[in-house]
Chains A and B, each alone.
Chain A
Amino acid sequence: MSTVIAPAGSARGQARRGGGYEQPQGRRSNFELYSWFFMRLSGLILIFLSLYHLVWWNLIVGVEHLSADLVRERWQNPFWRFYNVALLLFAMLHGLNGLRYSIEDYVRKPGAQVAVKAVAYTLILTSMAIGAFALFTYNPAVAAAAR
């Protein structure tokens, strides 16, 4: 029957008569808010990081002059290492966020969603960790000696 007397309860919570609904206790969280805000900020930073990265290596240095020596030289300066760590982490987190959205939208079974998320998070967080570890612990002297 199409009487809209009161909407049925949903995962969002129990409908209240007269509009509104009761959010179940424990479901209130600001995670989505802060995640959104973080994505906005880091997204903005990411644009400049990647733009500079792109312009420097591809246009100013030029792909044809690109070599391991140049990279090694650059990584002598800790600033550029942090720069690259930031580029890596922000890019991966944005990718992860997109993946999370897709999983939440399309993997509807709660159990399956947890499982798919676990796999996706593990893969991405691991590669982030490996990348960050490599960037921070890279030793130019060792690399040079190895040549």
Chain B
Amino acid sequence: MAKATIRILRYNPEGDAAAPAHQDFAIDVEPTDRVLDALNHIKWYVDGTLTFRRSCAHGICGSDAMRINGVNRLACKVLMRDVGSRVTVEPLMGFRVIKDLVVDMDAFFAQYRSVLPYLINDSRPPERERLQSPEDRERFDDTTKCILCAACTTSCPSYWANEEFVGPAAIVNAHRFIFDSRDSAPGERLEILNNREGVWRCRTIFNCSEACPREIKVTKAIGEVKRAILYRQST
């Protein structure tokens, strides 16, 4: 057990304070505790009003993305020993804060829906599976890993500047279908993304790749989509 100070940016929509403010909690933690365990400890035994989303607690449901010491991380994938005895936890940037660490994700899911994130193939399916070589499958493997946690989109300065930008997460999910050999509508998605608020607002800042808890090479994927738009125009 070691002492740790967790500094949390609090906001209560029903409270008197109009603006969010930091609050410090001094608690005992194990070095192998997740930051999420520390937050749970505070919520359960110190201050029940502390509010944050969480579910699977091991990095696959995407609920608990937040800013930990200034960078976007999943609270369940950061151990206390890796962040030291003073940790600052804040909500994701760029979304409206609902309460404490909870942000409004509706705009994010709306952007996701805008890129037609589902397989389109109107040809009659065969009796058995559609064949796909391991190489063709590998082509879009990286972007199938996305858990829609929004760590990338909310780390993107272009998105902070302009929420009309479709954002890296939506492009990653478009990429997953554009490069799926079974899909017949990559052109439609490329048309959607060939827009000032589509891929072209990406300034290759690489924050998204750094933020992704699934280690998806987000900027690379966006670059591949940009090139796909170019090749499509030139043919």
Contacts and interface: CB of A to CB of B under 8 A. Distances in A.
The prevalent SS among residues of B at the interface is helix
Given A2-B104, A30-B233, A20 B116 contact: yes
B102 to A, nearest CB: 11
A14 B201 CA distance: 19
A19 to B, nearest CB: 5
Interface in A3-21: 4, 6-8, 10-12, 15, 19-21
A99 B161 CA distance: 14
A105 B111 CA distance: 18
B81 interface: no
B113 A4 contact: yes
A76 interface: no
Nearest to B229: A33
Given A12-B166, A36-B200, A4 B109 contact: yes
A14 to B, nearest CB: 10
B192 A32 contact: no
A11 to B, nearest CB: 5
B188 to A, nearest CB: 7
Contacts of A108: 162
B153 interface: no
Given A2-B104, A15-B114, A10 B164 contact: yes
A79 interface: no
Contact of A32 (B109, B157, B158, B200): B200
Nearest to A107: B161
B196 A7 contact: no
A17 to B, nearest CB: 9
A23 B192 contact: yes
Interface in A91-117: 101, 104-106, 108
A19 B109 contact: no
Nearest to B158: A105
Nearest to B98: A2
B195 A12 contact: yes
B194 interface: yes
Contact of A23 (B118, B164, B195): B195
B230 A33 contact: yes
Given A4-B106, A19-B113, A11 B197 contact: yes
Interface string B106-128: 11011101111110000000000
A147 B200 CA distance: 51
Nearest to B109: A4
Interface in B182-219: 188, 191-192, 194-198, 200-201, 203
15 contacts: A2-B106, A6-B113, A7-B107, A11-B164, A12-B198, A15-B110, A15-B114, A19-B116, A20-B116, A27-B195, A28-B191, A36-B200, A105-B158, A105-B162, A105-B201
Given A12-B197, A20-B188, A23-B192, 11 more contacts: A11-B197, A12-B166, A19-B117, A19-B118, A20-B116, A33-B229, A33-B230, A36-B200, A36-B230, A37-B230, A105-B157
